Amino acid sequence: MAEQVAVQKERKNRRKTALNPAGNPLLWCKWVGYLFWSMAMYFAQMAKPPDESLFHRLMEMGVARHWNRDLMTLSWFFMWLTVLVALGGLLLNGVRLRRRDDRMSIGLMILVILTLIAMARLPAGNPIAVFWSHL
């Protein structure tokens, strides 16, 4: 009897480690989601047109006024991947709510909200917005 209790405690402790993907899949969903979100924000920042500086005004040089649509489309793609990973993690979290001390992952909820706000604020990479702008 004591051996069974010790084995159960050892299994429970092994499940809770961060490096065990089968034991903590929500942590992996968060890491992958925030990695995708960071990549999307990096590509969105790189696609943004440069600001006009004092040097540009003094030399009467023009600055590009358009966003790089290829990078914005790539950013849009990573935002969708972020939403899919985060919603998958929330679905997995909802299925695993069995014990009294289980909670919904606030980090994944924040990730979905941040991504949806970013998708609304950066419509230049949105393929639908691009299609409507060409009509």
- In-domain check, residue 115: yes
Rounded CA separation 55/47 (Å) = 21
Share the mean pLDDT of the chain: 77
* Assessment of whether the complete model's pTM goes beyond 0.85: no
DSSP state letters, 74-90: HHHHHHHHHHHHHHHHH
- Arithmetic mean of pLDDT, 21-25: 64
pLDDT at 118 over 80: yes
Q: Is residue 103 part of a domain?
A: yes
Q: Is the pLDDT of residue 112 over 80?
A: yes
Domain-embedded: residue 73: yes
- Has residue 7 been placed in a domain? no
- pLDDT value at 123 more than 80: no
Q: Is the pLDDT of residue 18 over 70?
A: no
Domain with 113 in it: 30-49+69-135
Which burial class, exposed, middle or buried, applies to 109 when counting CB atoms under 10 A from its CB (0-12, 13-18, 19+)? Answer: middle
Residue 8 lies in a domain: no
Q: Is the pLDDT of residue 44 over 90?
A: no
CA distances to 5, 47, 97, 112 from 122, rounded to whole Å, are 54, 11, 35, 15
Domain count, the chain: 1
- Would 81 be classed as within a structural domain? yes
Position 121, amino acid: R
pLDDT digits (tens, 9 = 90+) for 67-96: 777 888 888 899 999 999 999 988 888 887
Q: What is the per-residue burial (b if ≥16 Cβ within 10 Å, else e) of 66-86?
A: ebbeebbbbbbbbbebbbebb
For residue 127, tell me if it sits in a domain: yes
